[in-house]
């Protein structure tokens, strides 16, 4: 993909939008930024970068002429596919993609992508930790708060990229093709964005869209919706969390990471060591303190009933 001298408009100037703009500039392209917020409400680092690099930008809304003066439109995960800027771009046959797709075009290392309604951050972190414990280098990015675009031009520093991927990010992939794609579970979520559960599920399963016979799809055997995807995917299917098979670990997050480790030929004792010392991730079943014999737990990331159930009964 050649971006030199190309005008690339980014919709949304938050973390992933800024990362995309920085990547485009580094590749000698011309980034433009369009955001619905006024300039003074943007994060300070975004304001500073735009000003320092004299980036063409518009604020407090989107103007059709500004959007149409583009060779490519990159949208942030929070931007809907039916948003006006997207409609304007498509009417002019301007290609549209998300930040993850943009970064993937320049990635030179295998990608391990993790999606699901619950447990994504924990499992992505476990996979990163297992890979690094085995002596390899892994970059954890994506929906965990570290934009893929920030790291992709440093591919030579890593052996693998481990991406947490949301349904919002999967909506805008085109060629994105993970070597290993993990689908943890599926339950009701994000119906403020998706029309219904079916649309949400269709977005999630796009993680397998471009995989081939040399890739791997890791599916939760205990989740009916997820396990049945074996009939659709083209990749080699591996299951985790199979209730019919005796397991050394009873935590599905561990089992998902273990299955990925097996594909990468990482020994089980390496995984066991990581699992034993894993402290969890911030805001997810995070021990705060014990007061008068009562444990206080921070699980503020469980924003749905199903997320709370997963955290309480199965996750760390």
State whether 201 and 242 are in the same domain: yes
110/90 same-domain check: no
Total residue count of the chain as it appears in this document: 316
- Is the pLDDT confidence value at 247 over 90? no
What would the pLDDT profile of 164-195 be if each residue is shown by its tens digit?
A: 999 999 999 999 999 999 999 998 676 666 67
CATH number at residue 201: 3.40.1190.10
Q: Which DSSP letter does residue 6 get?
A: -
In a domain, 26, yes or no: yes
Does one domain contain both 123 and 235?
Answer: yes
Is 144 found in the same domain as 23?
no
Across 36-45, 50-59, 279-288, least confident range: 279-288
Q: Are residues 174 and 258 in the same domain?
A: yes
Within a domain: 315: no
Model pLDDT, residue 314: 47
Verify that 185 and 232 share a domain, yes or no: yes
**Minimal CA–CA distance to 176: which of 81, 69, 102?**
102
- How high does pLDDT run on average in the chain? 91
Residue 305: pLDDT band (50, 70, 90) is: low
**Is 185 contained in some domain?**
yes
- Confidence (pTM): 0.88
Q: Is residue 177 part of a domain?
A: yes
Distances (CA, A) of 294 to 240, 290, 291, 299, 311: 34, 5, 5, 16, 19
Domain, as residue range, for 261: 102-277
CA–CA separation, 147 vs 292, rounded Å? 41
Residues 13 and 111 in one domain: no
**30 in the same domain as 111:** no
CATH classification of the domain holding 85: 3.40.50.720
> What's the confidence (pLDDT) of residue 291?
85
pLDDT tens across 78-129, in order?
899 899 999 999 999 999 999 999 999 999 999 999 999 999 999 999 999 9
> Within this chain, do residues 69 and 119 fall inside the same structural domain, yes or no?
no
The residue among 72, 90, 70 whose CA lies nearest residue 81 is 90
Residues 81, 152: one domain? no
* Residue 45 three-state SS: helix
Residue 78 falls within a domain, yes or no?
yes
Q: Are residues 169 and 212 located together in one domain of the fold?
A: yes
**Range 211-216 average pLDDT:** 98
> Tokens for 230?
């074996």
**Backbone phi, psi, residue 126, to 5°:** -60, -45
Q: Is 115 helix (H, G, I), strand (E, B) or coil?
A: strand
306 inside domain: no
Residues 114 and 88 in one domain: no
Residue 293 lies in a domain: no
Total tally of structural domains belonging to the chain: 2
């Amino acid at each position: 993909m050649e971006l030199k001298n190309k005008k690339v408009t980014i919709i949304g100037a938050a973390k992933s939008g800024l990362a995309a703009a920085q990547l485009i500039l580094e590749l000698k392209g011309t980034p433009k930024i369009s955001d619905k917020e006024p300039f003074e409400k943007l994060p300070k680092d975004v304001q500073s970068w735009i000003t320092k690099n004299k980036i063409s930008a518009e604020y407090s809304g989107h103007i059709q002429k500004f959007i149409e003066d583009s060779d490519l439109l990159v949208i942030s995960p929070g931007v809907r596919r039916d948003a006006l800027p997207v409609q304007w771009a498509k009417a002019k046959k301007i290609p549209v993609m998300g930040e993850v797709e943009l970064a993937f075009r320049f990635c030179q290392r295998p990608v391990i992508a993790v999606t699901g309604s619950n447990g994504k951050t924990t499992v992505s972190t476990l996979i990163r930790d297992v890979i690094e414990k085995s002596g390899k280098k892994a970059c954890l990015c994506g929906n965990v708060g570290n934009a893929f675009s920030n790291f992709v031009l440093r591919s030579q520093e890593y052996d693998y990229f481990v991406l947490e991927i949301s349904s919002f990010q999967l909506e805008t992939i085109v060629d994105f093709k993970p070597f290993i794609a993990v689908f943890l579970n599926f339950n009701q979520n994000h119906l403020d964005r998706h029309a219904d559960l079916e649309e949400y599920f269709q977005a999630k399963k796009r993680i397998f869209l471009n995989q081939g016979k040399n890739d791997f799809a890791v599916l939760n055997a205990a989740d009916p919706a997820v396990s049945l995807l074996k009939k659709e995917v083209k990749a080699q299917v591996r299951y985790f969390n199979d209730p019919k098979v005796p397991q050394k670990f009873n935590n599905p997050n561990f089992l998902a990471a273990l299955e990925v480790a097996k594909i990468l030929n990482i020994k089980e004792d390496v995984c066991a060591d990581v699992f034993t010392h894993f402290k969890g991730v911030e805001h997810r079943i995070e021990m705060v303190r014990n007061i008068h014999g009562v444990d206080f737990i921070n699980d503020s990331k469980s924003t749905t009933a199903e997320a709370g159930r997963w955290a309480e009964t199965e996750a760390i």
